[in-house]
Each structure stands twice: as structure tokens, then as C-alpha cells.
Chains A and B, each alone.
Chain A
């Protein structure tokens, strides 16, 4: 999708620069919410301010809204056809497979440090265990706790780093190599 957007907005329409575009991709992928919506808001704002952002965001949501709303009107009737119901039983298995393989692919792309692996394993086991034992613990908490732990770890590391640098400076070796 990024290639499509770049062609349209950087090369053809020249609404934003190549550099802004790279920034946008990084921001859109790292902030919550769908990447397409995030990109639309960003490009809209860069081109025409808040109104541009609003219009671009609404515009990118409209096709989804209309298509899915129309499908939702006939979906139950469609499902009541017996062969469609059989097809959807197969599709349900297919969806589980898609989510599973997407998860594995994303896991392979993760940083391979101890912290990432620990979080991956801990959240996976806790969440699976809580779901199977019907303990209600919202996913929101996992996200917030993991983010918080990572920031804490960063602060501790920086604090250690700073004291090390100070020590080195005192010894006359000079810091800045961290």
C-alpha cells in the first residue's frame, strides 16, 4: 500500500515531499489505528490543514462504510443458503489460519533480544491461560503494561549509562562511546 500512496501523492500530485512521506509511513505504522486512516489524516493535514485532514479521513472511510453496510444488510440471508453456510464453516478455519500465520510472520520480524522474547512469551501464556480460565483481563492492560515496562527499562539503562559516562569522564577517558 505504501508504494501506491507514494506514487499518487509524492510523484503524481506532489502534495508532500519524499522526506515527509517517509516520516508519515513511520508515524502511521507506529501510532494506534489503521495505517490507511493515519496516512489520510497526515497527508490531509500537510496539504490543507485541519479541514484537509478531516475531509481526507472521512473520504478514506466512506468506501468501507458503504460497501460493508450494504453487505451487512444481505449477509444473514446469504448465510442461510446451505452451501454458503458450508463454505463459511471452511472460511472460519481459513481465518484462524490467516491470523495464526500473520502472527508467526510478525514474530519472526521482531527484534531478537531477551526483552522482546520475554514479553512475547509472557503475554502469550498469560493471555491464553486467562482466556481458557475465563478470567477477564482486558488486552488494553497488556499493551499498557508492556509499553510501561519498556520505558522503565529504557530509563534504567539510561541512568546506568549516564553514571558510567560520568565515571569515565572522571577517569579522564572521555564518554560518548555509549
Chain B
């Protein structure tokens, strides 16, 4: 049943998603792709909308994915699922484990999780980048990308997408250098929307 699937999937995500915001993206991606709920492109669209609306990314994603799979009830179950672990864990700590952060074991556990979550975020970004920009989704695709003649399957880099990606990197670096601060995510998304229209629509 879709409601139970949504509930338990997001319950799992809520339970292990350390590192806030982007920390849960690899978990959500795995879940939606393995159930076939969303394609990679749809998933990226959902992240963009969740990132540019108020509220925590995880709750926004849960509501969005829930709604796409099971209407309002789907959203409801997915959102409850992702929020519930937070609720009980914090309640437990606030009520019973007053010195939770001072336990050496807890600190040790977290010191292992931090680099792990960062690695997961970077790996997810790299695989998503390979997929969207180079349509490389498996090791075989890398081979056919390097030797286009050998394979019958078309693996074609999206040059327009690569152009946008490089443009964003250059802009980000220059901005940091001259303005001494980073560009807000929403501004970045607006900019890439404009570039998308210009590059895919006009050219």
C-alpha cells in the first residue's frame, strides 16, 4: 500500500538523516529511484521547489513526493513519517538525557557520521552531475562516452547543461572573490532558470 510505503520510507529517512538539509538528499534519492516514484529530473525539480519555498527541506520534499504518489493522504503520511523520529528523539533527550551532548560515546559516534554524511552528499552530487550533464548512469556509459564509436547506445553529453554548470562555477568563484560572500541558493536557482530558458529555449 502506497501510504504505508511512504510512511515507512520517510520514517527511515527521518531516523538516519544526520547533517540537516542536504544530508538527507542521498537517502531520499535512493528511496524515490528504487521505488520508481520519480525520475532523476523530477527529483531535481522537487529539490529546487523545496529549496526555494519556506520550511525545512526534508518536510517540503516529503510533502511533495507524498503528494505526487498518493495525493493529500500521501503527503500527510510522508510528512508525519519524516517528522516523527525528530519528535521522539528530541523528546527523549530533553526529558531524560539532559547531558546527552556531553557523553563521550555520543561525540565519538557523531565524529564518525559527519565525514560520512559529507561524503554521501558529494557522491550524490557527482552521480547526479554525471547523469544530468553526461547521461552517464553506469560504468558502461563511461566507456561509451570515451569511445563513442564502439557502442550502439547513444551517450551524449548535454553541452548546454555543461555550459550552465561551468557558468555557475565561474560566477560563484568571481562573486566570492570580489563581493566576499556567497550567492544565496535562491538567486543561484533563479539564475540557472534564466540560463535554462536562454540556452535550451532560445539558442
Main secondary structure of the interface of B (DSSP, over half): helix
Also in contact, A99 and B194, with CB within 8 A (given A29-B20, A45-B95, A67-B55) = no
CB distance from A92 to the nearest CB of B (A): 4
Residues of chain B lying within 8 A (CB to CB) of residue A166 = none
Inter-chain contact A95/B27, CB cutoff 8 Å:
no
Inter-chain contact A83/B197, CB cutoff 8 Å:
yes
Residues of chain B lying within 8 A (CB to CB) of residue A99 = 22, 25, 47, 121, 124-125, 128
CB of A150 within 8 A of chain B?
A: yes
Residues of chain B lying within 8 A (CB to CB) of residue A131 = 123, 127
CB of A172 within 8 A of chain B?
A: no
Main secondary structure of the interface of A (DSSP, over half): helix
Report the interface size for chain A: residues with CB under 8 A from the other chain.
90
Inter-chain contact A88/B193, CB cutoff 8 Å:
yes
Interface residues of B in 150-199 (CB under 8 A from A): 161, 164-165, 168-169, 172, 185, 188-189, 191-197, 199
- Roughly how many angstroms separate A100 CA and B100 CA in the complex, as a whole number? 32
CB distance from B22 to the nearest CB of A (A): 5
Inter-chain contact B200/A94, CB cutoff 8 Å:
no
- Report the interface size class on chain B: 35 or more
Residues of chain A lying within 8 A (CB to CB) of residue B137 = 132
Also in contact, A123 and B15, with CB within 8 A (given A61-B83, A94-B188) = no
Closest 6 CB pairs of A and B: A90-B196, A150-B112, A94-B192, A64-B55, A33-B86, A34-B56
Interface residues of B, Cβ cutoff 8 Å to A: 12, 14-22, 25-27, 30, 34, 41, 44-45, 47-51, 53-60, 63-64, 67-68, 72, 75-76, 79, 82-83, 85-87, 89-91, 93-95, 100-101, 104-106, 108-130, 132-133, 136-139, 142, 161, 164-165, 168-169, 172, 185, 188-189, 191-197, 199-201
Known: A106-B22, A115-B111, A146-B116. 4 other contacts (CB 8 A): A32-B16, A64-B54, A97-B168, A151-B108
